[in-house]
């Protein structure tokens, strides 16, 4: 067993109730997406655990600017995004999902308007993204992309086959930005949680792992520090249309 596995078992023991960020995100999707739903995964990419999990709920259609989305084995259909407009009619999907996509958007307001357009009234958009005020996102926003390419996968102890990180912009990566942009796009914020997960970026050294674990324990101990947690989990909704006014009688 590697030291990374030993440390995860010691500090993040599932038998003692620890749930990792992916598990929490999947539970959020399950609770807001009905069984048998037609789901658009925005930023689906190639085959991955999120797409496969969503396929256990309903029919998943992938959208991504990267042609590698065609290799995703969990999708009922795959489309390459060219430009800003999604290649679907209004009200096509029961739900949309994005997992670590928001931080890459150049124009999040247009993105939200497109999500709203392709959702049926009452449909949900479930997303997970980094918090701009977490140390990982702060370091990312202060360094050029070539540094991310060189260091990101190494810090996460990923192999050479891992995809290089995509450029990040963090234009909708605070709770206040999510709420503000949702209002502008005509979406409602149904739920917004701040979650600090296990230290994936500390897997290159024991010292970093222990340092980041101490950080996780501190910011998870009180809601006063939730603004420093690593991830935003949010559920947005396209509102139902208002009914006709009732006549007086």
pLDDT of residue 241: 85
How confident is the model over 93-132, as pLDDT tens digits? 999 999 999 999 999 999 999 999 999 999 999 999 999 9
Q: Which two tokens stand for residue 199?
A: 């230290």
- In this structure, which long-range contacts are made by residues 73-81, counting pairs with CB atoms below 8 Å and at least 24 apart in sequence? 73/47, 74/47, 74/48, 75/41, 75/44, 75/51, 78/44
SS3 labels along the chain: CCHHHHHHHHHCCHHHCCCCHHHHHHHHHHHHCCCCCEEEEECCCCCCHHHHHHHCCCEEEEEECCHHHHHCCCCCEEEECCCCCCCCCCCCEEEEEEECCHHHCCCHHHHHHHHHHHEEEEEEEEEEEECCCCHHHHHHHCCCHHHHHHHHHHHCCCCCCCCCCCCCCCCCCCHHHHHHHHHHHCCEEEEEEEECCCCHHHCCCHHHHHHHHHHHHHHCCCHHHHHHCCEEEEEEECCCCCCCCCCCC
pLDDT of residue 150: 54
Burial 83-98 (b: 16+ CB within 10 A, else e): eeebeeeeebbbbbbb
The low-confidence residues of the chain, meaning pLDDT below 50, are 146, 153, 248-249
What is the value of pTM for the model shown?
0.88
Structurally, at CATH architecture level, domain 3-237 sits in 3-Layer(aba) Sandwich (3.40)
Query: Do the Cβ atoms of 22 and 200 come closer than 8 Å?
Result: no
Q: Spell out the domain ranges in the chain.
A: 3-237
For residue 91, is it left (φ>0), alpha (ψ between -120 and 50) or beta? Answer: left
235 vs 95: CA distance, rounded Å: 10
CB atoms within 10 A of CB 205: 12
């Amino acid at each position: 067993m590697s030291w990374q596995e030993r440390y995860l078992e010691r500090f993040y023991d599932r038998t003692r109730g620890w749930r990792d960020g992916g598990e929490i995100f999947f539970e959020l999707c399950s609770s807001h997406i009905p069984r048998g739903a037609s789901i658009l995964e925005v930023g689906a990419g190639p085959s991955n655990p999120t797409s496969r999990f969503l396929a256990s709920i309903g029919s998943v259609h992938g959208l991504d600017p990267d042609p590698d989305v065609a290799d995703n084995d969990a999708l009922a259909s795959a489309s390459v995004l060219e430009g800003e407009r999604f290649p679907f009619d209004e009200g096509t999907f029961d739900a949309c999902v994005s997992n670590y996509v928001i931080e890459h958007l150049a124009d999040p307001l247009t993105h939200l308007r497109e999500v709203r357009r392709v959702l049926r009234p009452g449909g949900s958009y479930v997303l997970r993204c980094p918090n701009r005020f977490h140390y990982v996102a702060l370091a990312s926003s202060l360094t050029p992309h070539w540094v991310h390419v060189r260091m990101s996968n190494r810090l996460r102890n990923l192999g050479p086959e891992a995809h290089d990180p995509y450029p990040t912009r963090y234009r909708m990566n605070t709770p206040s930005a999510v709420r503000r942009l949702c209002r502008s796009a005509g979406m409602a914020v149904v739920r917004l949680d701040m979650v600090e997960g296990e230290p994936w970026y500390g897997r290159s050294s024991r010292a970093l792992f222990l340092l980041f674990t101490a950080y996780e324990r501190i910011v998870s101990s009180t809601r006063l520090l939730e603004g420093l947690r690593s991830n935003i989990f949010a559920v947005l909704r396209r509102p139902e249309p208002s009914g006709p006014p009732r006549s007086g009688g």
